C-alpha cells in the first residue's frame, strides 16, 4: 500500500472518530488480544521499533498475541502509531511543536493514538503508555517489572507533553545500555542507542577539547604563542590556549571542521578548557578578562567566534563550552550566540543540602547569572563520590529538589555524572532510575520515586533498605558534612554508630528475602558499601565499638569480611572502587594496614 493511500485511510478513520471520546476500550480480554497495532508501511525505523516493543510488552502483560498491521481490521480496536498528517487532520494539531522527544497519547472511540516528534517521540509515547497506564517498570538493564493482566481495559486518555529538558543523561554504567536508556527516555551522548531506538544527541569531542583540537606535541615548538603565558613564560604544562591569538583560532576551526566532516551525526561539538586551571595571563587575555569581570568572558568571546565560523557549513551543530572552575562566574558583557551551549558545573557544591540552600550560594548566584544571558544553558552535575564509588553517599534527598532547581533556572540539558566505569557503586541502579524519571519530568516527587524504586527492586526487603538509607541521610544532615563529590572515608557521618545501625537494617533486609535468590543478591550488593567502609577504618571502628560496649556487626576478622565482600563484588562484576583505578587497591591496602 502506498504512503499516500495509507494516509488517506488513517485520515478518514480519524475524521470519523473526531470528537468521540473513549469511555473504556478493551485491548485484551482473558489472554486474547482484541486490538491491532497500526503503522504506515514506510514508517521510520524508530516507529517500526516502537510498534514491535509495544506488541512485545502487550504480549507479555496479557498473554495474547498482538499483531502489527498497515490498516485497521473491521471493528477491532486500533492502536495507531500515527504519522503527523493523520494527527493534524484529526485534531487540527500537529507534532511540529513537540521537538524530537514530545509525545501524544490520545484515546478515541475504539482507538488509541501513540505518536510524537521525530525521531524519538513515538517511542517515548509507547513507553510512557506502558509505564503510566499498564504499570511496566524497567529498573535496570537486567531487572524489570512487567505486570500480568490477562484483561487490559483503558479509560479516556488525553496527554500531550514536551519534556522541559532537551538533553537528559544519567551518566551511570548500567544506564548506558540502549534498551534501558530509550525505555527510560534518556537521549545523552553516552547511551548506546541506534537509529531504531531513536538516536541521541551526539557530541564531537565530549569535554576538555582544547588540546585534542590543538595538540601541543604538534604545534608548541613552532607556535608557543598559541598556548598559555603563565608567569611570563609560554607553557603547555597544565595550561590552556591563548584565546586572543587569531592564528590559533583559525587552526582550531580547521581541525574542528575536519572532525565534524568525519562525524556527520554530531549535533554538538565541544570547544572547552582542559581539566585544570592555567588560563593564559598574557596582556591581551588579561585585559579582556578584567573587562568582563571573569575569565568566562574571554572564553565566550572565543567560542562565539568559533561558532560563527562553523555555522554556515554545519548549521545543525551547536558549540558547547564549560562554565567550570575558573570560568564558572558569568561575564559582564558578552552573551552566547544562538548556536552556543554553556555547560555550568556544580563540582564545588555541597550535596548534603539542596543547591538552593545558603551553603551553595556561590553556585546559586552563578546559575542565576548564566540563566539571564544563555538560551541553551546545560548543567554538568555530580551525583557520586569519585574517590569511593561504593561508599555510602547520602545525597538522595537532594536529587529531586536539585533537578527542579535547575529547570526553574532555565536549564535545557542535564548531565548527571555518576559512577560510569563500573557496576556496583552504592545504590547505582536506584540513582540512575530516579534521575531518569526526574529528567523526563522535573515536577515529579523525588522522594516518592525513591520509595517506588525500593519497593519494586527489593520486594519484601524494601522497608529495611529504606530504613538503612534514612540512617545514613540523617547522619550526614546531623554532621553538617559538606558531602562533595570527592568525599573521604574519614567523613564524620561515617561513624561506628551510623554504620552499625545501618547494618542492622541491612541484615533484616537480607533475612526478609532469604528464599528469593534474585532479591537476596540485590540486598547483598546493597550491603557492600557498609562493609567497605568498615574495612577502610577497621582498627578505628574496632576501638569505637569497644568504647561503646556495642556488639561488633561485621565478621570477626577483616580477612573474613574481605572474602565475603569479594564474592559478591565479583558476581556483580565490580571492576573498580573509584573513578581512576581498576581493581580493589583501596581494600587491599586496608587489609595490609589491619594486618600490621
Query: Would you list the DSSP string of 414-467?
Result: EEEE---S-S--TTHHHHHHHHHHHHH-TTS-HHHHHHHHHHHHHGGGHHHHHH
What is the model's pTM? 0.95
Other Cβ atoms closer than 10 A to 235:
16
DSSP annotation of 550 reads P
**CB 156 within 8 Å of CB 22:** yes
What is the C-alpha end-to-end distance of the chain, expressed in Å? 79
C-alpha cell at 295: 575569565
C-alpha cell at 68: 502489527
205: alpha, beta or left, given left = phi > 0 and alpha = psi -120 to 50? left
Alpha-carbon Rg for the chain, nearest whole angstrom, is 27
* Residue in 354, 452, 345 with CA at minimum distance from that of residue 399: 354
Q: From CA 530, how far away is CA 528, in angstroms rounded?
A: 6
Report the DSSP beta bridge partners of residue 318.
Answer: 268
| Per-residue tens of pLDDT for the chain, all 596 residues | 444 454 445 544 554 444 444 458 999 999 999 999 999 999 999 999 999 999 999 999 999 999 999 989 878 999 999 764 455 444 445 667 899 999 999 998 889 999 999 999 999 999 999 999 999 999 999 999 999 999 999 999 999 999 999 999 999 999 999 999 999 999 999 999 999 999 999 999 999 999 999 999 999 999 999 999 999 999 999 999 999 999 999 999 999 999 999 999 999 999 999 999 999 999 999 999 999 999 999 999 999 999 999 999 999 999 999 999 999 999 999 999 999 999 999 999 999 999 999 999 999 999 999 999 999 999 999 999 999 999 999 999 999 999 999 999 999 999 999 999 999 999 999 999 999 999 999 999 999 999 999 999 999 999 999 999 999 999 999 999 999 999 999 999 999 999 999 999 999 999 999 999 999 999 999 999 999 999 999 999 999 999 999 999 999 999 999 999 999 999 999 999 999 999 999 999 999 888 65
Cα–Cα distances (Å) from 280 to 233, 289, 313, 420, in that order, read: 10, 10, 30, 32
**Domain annotation for the chain: domains and CATH numbers:** 3-161 (3.30.379.10), 459-595 (no CATH)
Amino acid at each position: 500500500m502506498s504512503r499516500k493511500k495509507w494516509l488517506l485511510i488513517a485520515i478518514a478513520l480519524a475524521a470519523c472518530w473526531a470528537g468521540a471520546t473513549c469511555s473504556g476500550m478493551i485491548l485484551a480480554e482473558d489472554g486474547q488480544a482484541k486490538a491491532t497495532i497500526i503503522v504506515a508501511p514506510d514508517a521510520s525505523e524508530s516507529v517500526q521499533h516502537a510498534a514491535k516493543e509495544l506488541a512485545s510488552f502487550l504480549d507479555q502483560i496479557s498473554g495474547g498475541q498482538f499483531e502489527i498491521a498497515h490498516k485497521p481490521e473491521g471493528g477491532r480496536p486500533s492502536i495507531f502509531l500515527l504519522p503527523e498528517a493523520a494527527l493534524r487532520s484529526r485534531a487540527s494539531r500537529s507534532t511540529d511543536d513537540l521537538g524530537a522527544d514530545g509525545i501524544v497519547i490520545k484515546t478515541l472511540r475504539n482507538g488509541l493514538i501513540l505518536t510524537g516528534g521525530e525521531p524519538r517521540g513515538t517511542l517515548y509515547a509507547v513507553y510512557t503508555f506502558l509505564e503510566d497506564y499498564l504499570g511496566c517498570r524497567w529498573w535496570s538493564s537486567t531487572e524489570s517489572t512487567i505486570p500480568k493482566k490477562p484483561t487490559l481495559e483503558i479509560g479516556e486518555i488525553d496527554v500531550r507533553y514536551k519534556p522541559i529538558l532537551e538533553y537528559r543523561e544519567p551518566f551511570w554504567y548500567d544506564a548506558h545500555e540502549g534498551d534501558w536508556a530509550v525505555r527510560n527516555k534518556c537521549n545523552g551522548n553516552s547511551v548506546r542507542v541506534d537509529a531504531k531506538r531513536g538516536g541521541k544527541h551526539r557530541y564531537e569531542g565530549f569535554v576538555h577539547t582544547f588540546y585534542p583540537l590543538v595538540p601541543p606535541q604538534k604545534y608548541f615548538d613552532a607556535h608557543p604563542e598559541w598556548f598559555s603565558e603563565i608567569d611570563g613564560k609560554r607553557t603547555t604544562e597544565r595550561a590552556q590556549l591563548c584565546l586572543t591569538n587569531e592564528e590559533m583560532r583559525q587552526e582550531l576551526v580547521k581541525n574542528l571542521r575536519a572532525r565534524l566532516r568525519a562525524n556527520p551525526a554530531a549535533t554538538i561539538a565541544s570547544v572547552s578548557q582542559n581539566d585544570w586551571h592555567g588560563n593564559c595571563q598574557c596582556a591581551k587575555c588579561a585585559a579582556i578578562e578584567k573587562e568582563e569581570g571573569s575569565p568566562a568572558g574571554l572564553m565566550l568571546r572565543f567560542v562565539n567566534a568559533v561558532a560563527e565560523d562553523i555555522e554556515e557549513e554545519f548549521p545543525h551543530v551547536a558549540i558547547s563550552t564549560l562554565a567550570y572552575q575558573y570560568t564558572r562566574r558569568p561575564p559582564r558583557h558578552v552573551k552566547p550566540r544562538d548556536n552556543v551551549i554553556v555547560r555550568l558545573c556544580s563540582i564545588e557544591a555541597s550535596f548534603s543540602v539542596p543547591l538552593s540552600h545558603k551553603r551553595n550560594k556561590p553556585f546559586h548566584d552563578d546559575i542565576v547569572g548564566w540563566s539571564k544571558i544563555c538560551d541553551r544553558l546545560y548543567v554538568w552535575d555530580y551525583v557520586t563520590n569519585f574517590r569511593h564509588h561504593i561508599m555510602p553517599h547520602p545525597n538522595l534527598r537532594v536529587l529531586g529538589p536539585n533537578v527542579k532547581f535547575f529547570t526553574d533556572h532555565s536549564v535545557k540539558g542535564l548531565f548527571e555524572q555518576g559512577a560510569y566505569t563500573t557496576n556496583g557503586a552504592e545504590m547505582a541502579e536506584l540513582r540512575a532510575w530516579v534521575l531518569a524519571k526526574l529528567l523526563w519530568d522535573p515536577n515529579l516527587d523525588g522522594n516518592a520515586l525513591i520509595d517506588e524504586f525500593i519497593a519494586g527492586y527489593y520486594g519484601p526487603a524494601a522497608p529495611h533498605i529504606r530504613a538503612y538509607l534514612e540512617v545514613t541521610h540523617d547522619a550526614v544532615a546531623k554532621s553538617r558534612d559538606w558531602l562533595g563529590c570527592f568525599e573521604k572515608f574519614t567523613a564524620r557521618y561515617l561513624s561506628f554508630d551510623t554504620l552499625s545501625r545501618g547494618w542492622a537494617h541491612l541484615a533484616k533486609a537480607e533475612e526478609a528475602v532469604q528464599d528469593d535468590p534474585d532479591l537476596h543478591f540485590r540486598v547483598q550488593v546493597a550491603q557492600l558499601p557498609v562493609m567497605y567502609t568498615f574495612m577502610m577504618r577497621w582498627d578505628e571502628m574496632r576501638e569505637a565499638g569497644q568504647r561503646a560496649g556495642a556488639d561488633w556487626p561485621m565478621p570477626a576478622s577483616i580477612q573474613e569480611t574481605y572474602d565475603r565482600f569479594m564474592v559478591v563484588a565479583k558476581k556483580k562484576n565490580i571492576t573498580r572502587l573509584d573513578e581512576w583505578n581498576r581493581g580493589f587497591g583501596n581494600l587491599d591496602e586496608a587489609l595490609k594496614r589491619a594486618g600490621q
